[in-house]
Structure 1
Amino acid sequence: MYLSTTAVLPRLRFHKMDYSSVDTIRHLLARSHSRTCDYTLAGMIMWAHYFNYEYTIVGNTLFVKGVEENDRSTPAFSIPIGEMPLSESVALLKEYCRDENIPLVFSAVPEDRVEELRQLGDCHVEELTDWADYLYNARDLATLPGNRYSKKRNHVNRFTSDHPGTTLVDLTPEMVPQIKDFINSLPPDREHVTAQIERNEVIRLLDHWDSVHMDGAVLVTPDHGIVAFAIGEVIADTLYVHIEKMLHDINGAGETINKEFAAMMLERYGVTFINREEDAGDEGLRRAKESYHPLMMLRKYNVAFTD
């Protein structure tokens, strides 16, 4: 049971977040009511080093300290998750920031949480325009219905025709070495600074595959072996697709892993929505995500307290 911290504010002491933190933070992250990817286990743990994530737990509430999405030189916090009322958890963070002589900034705040923060003091709100998540209807991605998905279906049908005997299998611990070899065989993306960072973090996630308890699917052809794989995390009614890699020179591999992974997760968990995360300002990625007709964009904001 949560006990009020109003009378005496405890000193927050943050600790480095890494894969040893998984079991400690998982149950609290599951209490987030947001559908944005930032409050998922992979959203935290995969990017803990890049965003300098640290954490502490007070009053059965998870506090996460990192940096702003758009400015890694500025400390920022995630919205606390757990039993403590937001007014009290923000008061704790205000006290911590006063002691550290830093501003209190919340980064990647879901749109539906901004007003709660506004009620707790004067603040400046700024939309993070490149970091909105794409949210889709799960059944649409699993079945590609109607005229608007005809091109996607054509790519899937072409892939199926070109590669008879293709199978979709679960990503098991035994498959991890093969998946790591597949990742290392992909050509490097020299245009995007974070591409190599992401590749390294995917490898690190696979190194801890037994402990993260996520779902993965691998597309295997008789002629080329592994041609694509996807990794996701289901929370409540939403599948978060954290990783999707494919051989781009195999026509339809990307469309097929997208469709088949959605179908697998729909059948397994009955999910309603699929979050395919943000485009980070990449125009090519933006066009690709828009081509699947998102239901909505889950917008995010920086909220900086000025009082």
Structure 2
Amino acid sequence: MPCVHFLGEVIFMIDFRTPLISDKPWVDALLSHAAELGCEYNFTNLLIWNHAFSQKFALVDGFLAVRLTGTAGCGYLWPVGQGNIKNALLELEADAKERGAPFRLICVAPAHVSELEAYYPGKFQYITDRNGADYIYDINRLADLKGKKLHAKRNHCNRMEADCPDWRYEELTPDSLAECLVVNKEWYRRAAEREGAADEVSMQSEETALTCAFSNYEALGLEGGVLRVYGEVVAFTIADRLNADTYDVHFEKAYSELPGAFSLINRELARSLRERHPELRYLNREEDMGIEGLRKSKESYYPDMMAEKLTAVKVKE
């Protein structure tokens, strides 16, 4: 049972707290031990989306423990770090019990199922989260767009370059914040005109995350670019390192009224990152969230792999 403070505040054994930019060094050190492909295992995502998913973390037996609320409900990410992970899992299970909640692990890679079954044989129910699976691409394929499968993407880029001969791709800097926020708002406005009422919650949530990313741009080690036509920003993208050979693309927005803008900003980011970081092999372009148009777009680039994710819920005994 949780102990109760004399002022009525409920105190839990694990002190989960909101991420701060000052946490990046120790969190990154623990994440470096992870073999995870999912975008959840990235400090930037933990920081900038904590308002949307109530993401909080703690150090538990040498492991980074993250508690969050997602579409599957409240739960925990698979702990990452060094030491005895069974002890960390037992502590998270006790924390869930304290809170009167089921012990739920979110965004679990299929590779962890055998490990979880070794500790809790037959105790978990597994649910596939197709909408949350990340699309991962070979960076060279995105940069060069070679082959028959990507012929349409090459054509999109060629058309954009022909229609807008003065286009240019520039490195994104904090000074570009205001212009990128304008693009973000305008993108939602145009989408609402095409498809109906805008999702105000999603727009505000993304704007909050984007503002947080820009406010901590250099401290987070973010990289990205903007696409300009006649000097005006018409597309932008932001990414940073996920692991030793993979970058995670956090944001990408482009005016769809400009045929080829999405394809061009995608290609230019891949080329820019490949030039700066020759060791990179992959770009994680995150999930489609079950949005039909987004899924179609991501599938059209033919991902080299998918970072599949499961929700694991401990059954009542």
Give TM-score scaled by structure 2 length. 0.86
2:285 paired with 1:285: no
The answer to whether the 8 A contact 2:188-2:203 is kept is no
Moved more, 24-33 or 277-286: 24-33
Q: Partner residue of 2:3?
A: none
What is the CA RMSD across the aligned residues, in angstroms?
Answer: 2.0
Match of 1:76 in 2: 75
Partner in structure 1 of residue 273 of structure 2:
265
1:301 aligns with 2:303: no
* Residues 130-179 of structure 1, C-alpha deviations (whole Å, 9 max, x = no match): 11111111111110001211111111011111222322111122222332
Pick from 184, 201, 210 the counterpart of residue 202 of structure 1.
210
Structure 2 distance, partners of 1:177, 1:211, is 19
What does residue range 53-72 of structure 1 map to in structure 2 within 5 Å?
53-67=55-69, 69-71=70-72
Q: How does 1:147-162 map to 2 (within 5 A)?
A: 147-162=148-163
Mapping of 1:7-26 within 5 angstroms? 11-26=13-28
Task: State the identity %.
Answer: 28
1:86 aligns with 2:93: no
Work out which of the residue numbers 35, 44, 52 in structure 1 matches 2:46. 44
Aligned to 1:4: none
Q: Aligned partner of 2:119: which letter?
A: L
- The answer for unaligned runs of 5 or more in structure 1 is 1-9
Structure 1 residues 191 and 287, CA, compared in 2 at 3 Å: closer, same or farther?
A: farther
Question: Which of these residues, 278, 284, 308, is aligned with residue 275 of structure 1?
Answer: 284
What do residues 67-120 of structure 1 show as CA deviations (whole Å, max 9, x unaligned)?
A: 2x324xx32001111113211111111222233332211011112222211221
Tell me if 1:212 matches 2:194: no
Letter in 2 for 1:294: P
Question: TM (normalized to structure 1)?
Answer: 0.89
**Corresponding pairs, count:** 294
Alpha-carbon deviation of 1:45? 1.8
> 4+ residue stretches of structure 1 with deviation over 6 A?
none
Match of 1:7 in 2: none
Residues 227 and 247, structure 1, Cα contact 8 Å, conserved in 2: yes
Matched-pair contact (CA < 8 Å) for 2:134–2:287: yes
* Contact 1:22–1:45, Cα closer than 8 Å, also in 2: no
User: Paired residue for 2:238, among 215, 231, 250?
Assistant: 231
* Structure 1 residue aligned with 2:250: 242
CA deviation string 1:2-24 (max 9, x = no partner) = xxxxxxxx932111234454444
Deviation at 1:195, TM superposition (A): 4.0
How far apart in 2 are the matches of 1:203 and 1:103? Answer: 34
Cα distance in structure 2, aligned partners of 1:215 and 1:115: 36
Paired with 2:246 and 2:270, the residues of 1 have a C-alpha distance of: 11
1:216 to partner: Cα distance? 1.0
Which residue number corresponds to residue 4 of structure 2? none
Deviations 1:215-242 (A, max 9, x none): 1111122x25111111111221112111
Distance in 2 (alpha carbons) for counterparts of 1:195 and 1:128: 23
Output the CA distance in 1 between the equivalents of 2:188 and 2:86: 48
- Partners of 1:138 and 1:272 within 8 A in 2: yes
The answer on 1:175 being equivalent to 2:176 is yes
Check conservation: 2:142, 2:270, Cα contact below 8 A.
yes
Question: Match for residue 113 of structure 1?
Answer: 112
